[in-house]
């Protein structure tokens, strides 16, 4: 099997074309547990359509552990590959074929996951039917009308060494028992949680940055506006109208404010030091592996954060934003009055559809990670740019993170502990 890595799913047009050329003339690869090659194939022929549906059902009902050894757990039927050359398929339209196949295997979201991809190779159309990894389910055929009984309604097919056959009663019983065991016992390994960044930026660096900012402001003292007194303005914010008052500072007022900051700068330096420290932190990374022969959907992993570790959002600790908040501007703060609403963004949760996302509780002592799905056998690595773990005073002992994982399609929960050792 040299020349092409059959353990990995071919991604992209170039890799699929490489696979097709590799299969031409490889008679030993035309019928395997994870691969089927068709030479003569008509996209509009009902018999060929039934063969595709049967292959999809058979591949979806395979044993997940054995399936994981090839194509990252997927299975592929390639149509249009001759014994020694690229033959291509008859027809170019795959939409009608997909519709007919769906009538047998089930609608999207209810039946097996698969994709149909066409590639032009040497001027000919080669079609790849790529079936997703086996899930925690059994998929029977749903219809047989018009397909000459090649696929029978209610029958269950599975892919064996090189064929797609009906399951025997014993094989079906074993498969049901395996699925039941997988649903009752979920084995999840958490292989990475972190990093934790310790300590803060040295005080001399913080004071230098602070002094630079004040010096820049002193060199650009504002001039008094020609407009005296308060300005009244109307604005629409949060769907309500309110008034706002503000006025421009005189140069003396501005310098007096800077003098006051220099006399009482410790509390301001603390905020700036935190911002400069967080700015250097590495985002949280979590890596986990599902070892059970199952497929988890709507996964939630709740992680308890032990002291002295805290959860921070780097977006809340921008150095430039912190300086803008701490240092005076040429204008006084805006004083809102009248009817208005407070900004609600701090309590909003943004659910990124199809992507992992995180949620922090009010006390910042628990992090809940939401993951759309986790599949058997592969390590999943997730990085959260808006979450960092920080121990401002350092670590002098091991830290234990208790975690609890639940899934929407599997009863019960899995609990564990992840230990981080203190730096040597």
Residue 348: predicted pLDDT: 27
Picking from 354, 376, 228, the residue whose alpha carbon sits closest to that of residue 296 is: 376
Picking from 166, 178, 333, the residue whose alpha carbon sits closest to that of residue 247 is: 333
Q: Is the dihedral of CA 388, 392, 396, 399 positive or negative?
A: negative
CA dist., res. 373 & res. 351, Å (int)? 15
Helix, coil or strand: residue 334: coil
Size of the chain, expressed as the number of residues it contains: 424
Q: Does the 12-184 domain belong in CATH 3.30.950.30?
A: yes
In order along its 424 residues, the chain shows pLDDT tens digits of 457 888 889 989 999 999 999 998 776 667 888 999 998 899 988 899 999 999 999 999 998 778 878 898 899 999 999 888 899 999 878 888 999 999 999 888 888 999 999 999 999 999 999 999 887 789 999 976 666 678 888 899 999 877 888 999 988 888 887 776 655 546 888 888 888 877 666 667 767 777 777 777 777 665 544 444 443 344 443 334 344 444 455 677 777 777 777 666 666 677 777 677 666 677 889 998 888 777 888 888 888 888 888 887 766 666 666 666 766 665 544 444 333 333 333 222 233 334 555 565 545 678 888 888 888 887 888 888 878 887 876 677 788 898 888 888 777 778 889 998 876 5
pTM higher than 0.75: no
Going from N- to C-terminal start, the domains of the chain cover 12-184, 189-420
CA dist., res. 75 & res. 67, Å (int)? 8
Residue 69: predicted pLDDT: 81
Helix or strand (DSSP H, E) at 257: helix 251-263
> Which residues have a Cβ under 8 Å from the Cβ of 379 and sit 6 or more positions away?
191, 287, 288, 289
CA dist., res. 31 & res. 50, Å (int)? 17
Instruction: Assess contact for 409 and 136: CB atoms under 8 A.
Output: yes
| Secondary structure E strands in 313-398 | 335-337, 357-360, 366-375, 379-384, 388-391
Picking from 266, 280, 255, 279, the residue whose alpha carbon sits closest to that of residue 207 is: 266
CA dist., res. 4 & res. 19, Å (int)? 7
Cα→Cα distances 313→24, 119, 135, 391, Å: 54, 45, 36, 14
Angle between helices 46-60 and 95-105 (to 10 degrees): 50
Pairing of strands 388-391, 196-198: parallel
DSSP tag of 86: B
Q: Peptide bond preceding 84: is omega within 30 degrees of 0, i.e. cis?
A: no
């Amino acid at each position: 099997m040299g020349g092409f890595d059959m353990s990995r799913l071919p991604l992209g047009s170039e890799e699929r074309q490489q696979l097709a050329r590799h299969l031409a003339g490889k008679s030993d690869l035309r019928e395997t547990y994870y691969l089927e090659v068709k030479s003569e194939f008509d996209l509009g022929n009902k018999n060929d359509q039934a063969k595709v549906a049967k292959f999809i059902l058979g591949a979806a009902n395979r044993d997940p552990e054995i399936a994981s050894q090839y194509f990252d757990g997927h299975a592929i039927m390639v149509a249009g590959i001759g014994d020694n050359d690229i033959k291509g398929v008859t027809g170019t339209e795959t939409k009608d074929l997909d519709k007919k196949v769906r009538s047998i295997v089930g609608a999207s979201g209810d039946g097996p996951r698969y994709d149909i991809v066409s590639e032009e190779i040497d001027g000919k159309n080669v079609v790849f039917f790529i079936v997703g990894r086996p899930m925690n389910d059994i998929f029977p055929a749903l219809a047989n009308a018009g397909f000459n009984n090649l696929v029978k309604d209610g029958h269950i097919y599975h892919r064996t060494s090189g064929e797609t056959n009906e399951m025997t009663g014993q094989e079906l019983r074993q498969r049901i028992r395996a699925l039941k065991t997988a649903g009752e016992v979920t084995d999840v390994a958490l292989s990475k949680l972190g990093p934790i960044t310790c300590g803060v930026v040295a005080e001399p660096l913080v004071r230098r940055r602070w002094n630079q900012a004040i010096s820049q402001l002193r060199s650009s003292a504002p001039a008094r506006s020609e407009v005296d007194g308060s300005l009244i303005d109307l604005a629409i914010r949060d769907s309500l109208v309110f008034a706002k008052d503000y006025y421009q500072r005189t140069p003396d007022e501005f310098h007096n404010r800077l003098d006051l900051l220099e006399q009482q700068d410790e509390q301001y330096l603390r905020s700036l030091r935190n911002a400069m420290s967080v700015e250097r932190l590495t985002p949280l990374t979590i890596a986990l592996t599902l070892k059970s022969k199952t497929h988890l959907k709507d996964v939630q992993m709740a992680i308890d954060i032990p002291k002295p570790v805290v959860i921070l959002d780097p977006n809340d600790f921008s150095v430039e934003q912190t300086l803008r908040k701490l240092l005076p501007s040429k204008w006084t703060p805006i004083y809102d009055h009248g009817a208005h609403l407070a900004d609600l963004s701090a309590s909003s949760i943004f659910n990124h559809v199809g992507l992992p996302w995180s949620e922090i509780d009010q006390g910042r002592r628990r992090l809940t990670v939401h993951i759309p799905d986790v599949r058997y056998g592969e390590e999943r690595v997730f990085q959260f740019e808006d979450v960092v773990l920080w121990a401002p005073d350092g670590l002098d002992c091991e830290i234990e993170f208790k975690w609890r994982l639940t899934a929407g399609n599997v009863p019960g929960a899995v609990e564990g502990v992840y230990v981080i050792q203190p730096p040597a």
